[in-house]
């Protein structure tokens, strides 16, 4: 067997070698779940073709459970996405300081204020970004808030920062439904990275075009 036929057979063999361990893992998971009630299995696979996919529970009534990957989006003023990446750790708080460091590398200075959802809060992280030069840290306290913290979060600048952060949900929705981040059309883990970056690039091109100054008006002379 030579030439193209040999290459085709080699591809099939490589595909079988890749899929067999995954199929065995899924069989073990199924037996454990059905026969022994096991719900947590090391190396759990939820997709044979995309083994990196994760189980995502966001508390949505219409979609209590989703499968895929969580994506972290970092946005600057003007609707520009400055960073986008798959959340490998599935924990937000450790990403706070690296996010500010990334902003400093891009713009040469710390942002005036940082606004996140409550999942990014940590006392150490809040103190650290203030030391780095952030003037206003809008990090909602998770869980019970002391009276002192309640007064702190009722300040006008804090409420304005939370409102600006809420507007970020519209940015995320636009990335998902307008620019295709909701479902990757590329295969594999590298394809996922490519898909979310193309969505960010498309968003930024539209945002920059929207904020361009209009051309100067030309005065017209009237005539009879």
> Could you tell me whether strands 71-76 and 80-86 are parallel, antiparallel, or unpaired per DSSP bridges?
antiparallel
What SS3 class is residue 92?
Answer: coil
- Is 172 or 55 the better-scoring residue by pLDDT? 172
Cα-flanking dihedrals φ and ψ of residue 137, to 5°? -105, 105
Stated pTM of the model: 0.72
Mean pLDDT of 130-138: 92
Q: What is the pLDDT of residues 78-94, one digit of tens each?
A: 888 999 988 876 678 88
What's residue 212's pLDDT? 65
Report pLDDT for 220. Answer: 42
Residues 107-133: tens digit of each pLDDT: 999 999 899 988 899 989 999 999 999
72: pLDDT strictly greater than 90:
no
Residue 185 makes CB contacts below 8 A (sequence gap 6+) with: 191, 195
In this prediction, residue 215 carries a pLDDT of: 54
Q: How confident is the model at residue 216 (pLDDT cuts 50, 70, 90)?
A: low
Mean pLDDT, residues 58-70:
76
Going by C-alpha positions, the residue among 96, 94, 92 that lies closest to residue 111 is: 96
For residues 85 and 165, what is the distance between their CA atoms, to the nearest angstrom? 19
pLDDT tens digits, 1-43: 567 788 888 888 888 888 888 888 888 888 888 878 777 777 7
Place of tokens 């059905």: 34
219 has a pLDDT exceeding 50? no
Q: Apex CA 120: angle with CA 117 and CA 122, to 5°?
A: 130
- pLDDT computed for residue 54 by the predictor: 80
| Other beta carbons within 10 Å of 117 | 16
């Amino acid at each position: 067997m030579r030439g193209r036929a040999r290459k085709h057979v080699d591809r099939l063999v490589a595909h079988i070698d890749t899929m067999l361990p995954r199929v065995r893992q899924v069989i073990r998971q199924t037996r454990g779940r059905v026969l022994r009630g096991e719900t947590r299995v090391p190396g759990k696979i939820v997709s044979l073709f995309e083994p990196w996919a994760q189980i995502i529970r966001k508390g949505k009534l219409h979609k209590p459970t989703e499968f895929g990957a969580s994506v972290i989006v970092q946005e600057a003023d003007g609707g520009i996405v400055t960073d986008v990446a798959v959340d490998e750790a599935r924990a937000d708080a450790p990403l706070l300081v690296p996010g500010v460091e990334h902003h400093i590398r891009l713009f040469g200075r710390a942002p005036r204020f940082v606004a996140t959802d409550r999942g990014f809060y940590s006392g150490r992280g809040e103190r650290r970004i203030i030391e780095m030069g952030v003037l206003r840290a809008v990090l909602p306290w998770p869980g019970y808030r002391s009276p002192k913290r309640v007064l702190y979060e009722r300040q006008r600048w804090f409420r304005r920062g939370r409102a600006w952060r809420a507007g970020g949900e519209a940015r995320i929705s636009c990335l998902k439904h307008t620019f295709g981040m909701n479902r990757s059309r590329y295969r594999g883990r590298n394809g996922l990275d490519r898909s979310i970056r193309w969505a960010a690039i498309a968003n930024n091109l539209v945002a920059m075009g929207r904020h361009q100054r209009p051309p100067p008006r030309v005065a017209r002379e009237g005539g009879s």
